[in-house]
Amino acid sequence: MGYISLAGLRSVEIAKPANDPPLGGMPATLVESVGGTLGDIAHDAKALERAQALATGEHSTTFSPLLMRYSSCFRWQWRAVWAMIIDGKLHVFANSTASSPLRTLMVSDCECEVGEREECKTDYYCFRLQHSYGQATFCALNSKSLLLWLQALQSGGVKYEDPVIDLGDVKSLFDMNATLLSGEEIEMERYRGCVCLVVNGASK
């Protein structure tokens, strides 16, 4: 179980789905069409190698349980889903034994943002898809599953977009200030004319 915050409204308890749930209905048919289940990709190197070959191969395929954050009439909600990308189409099912998908999207019509999102909880691995129908944030259950989703989405033709960063009137490094580990703020202008190396490093 995990708790996920809904944009400051309240926290709801979400049961983390099983990594490898039993398949039935349309998910079972689709998975059989690509040679069967992936196996233990988190611990088995051969299973991961096969899964990566599927994700980057002819059919750009991967599948797994995901958590999906979507907008309802009055608020954002989370739900567990089972999803598969195959031949450029993303099928999202209510569960791993559903007879038909909740939604099918052409991946080439989607834009994707990847990374930690403020609406995600620690230990979830998130990406967001934007489509003309709307947008949804998906959380994979482990880092290897996220990697497979990103590989399959890229192979399937998704458009990756960098989030727009508003820099205001900043036109160079020397228009900015920096905060030292001591908490002191300095103007970068003092280093104009010097050779500068800018490194993104963790301080904690």
Q: Where are the domains of the chain?
A: 2-160
Mean pLDDT of the chain: 81
Contact 115, 126 (CB under 8 A): yes
**Looking at per-residue confidence, does 52 or 18 come out higher?**
52
**Looking at per-residue confidence, does 3 or 63 come out higher?**
63
The string of pLDDT tens digits covering residues 116-160 is: 555 565 667 888 888 877 788 888 888 899 899 999 998 988 887
Q: Which residues contact 121 (CB under 8 A, 6 or more apart)?
A: 2, 3, 4, 5, 139
Predicted pLDDT of residue 120: 62
Q: Which of 91, 86, 90 is nearest to 107 (CA)?
A: 90
Q: What percent of the chain has pLDDT over 70?
A: 79
Record the pTM.
0.69
Weakest-pLDDT range from 52-61, 86-95, 190-199 = 190-199
Contact 160, 150 (CB under 8 A): no
Q: DSSP readout, 65-87?
A: EEEEEEE-SSSEEEEEEEEEEET
- Band of pLDDT at residue 70, cut at 50, 70 and 90: confident
Predicted pLDDT of residue 132: 78
Q: Which residues contact 18 (CB under 8 A, 6 or more apart)?
A: 65
The string of pLDDT tens digits covering residues 4-16 is: 443 443 444 566 6
Choose the CATH number for 2-160 among 3.30.70.100, 3.50.50.60, 2.30.29.30, 3.10.520.10. Answer: 2.30.29.30
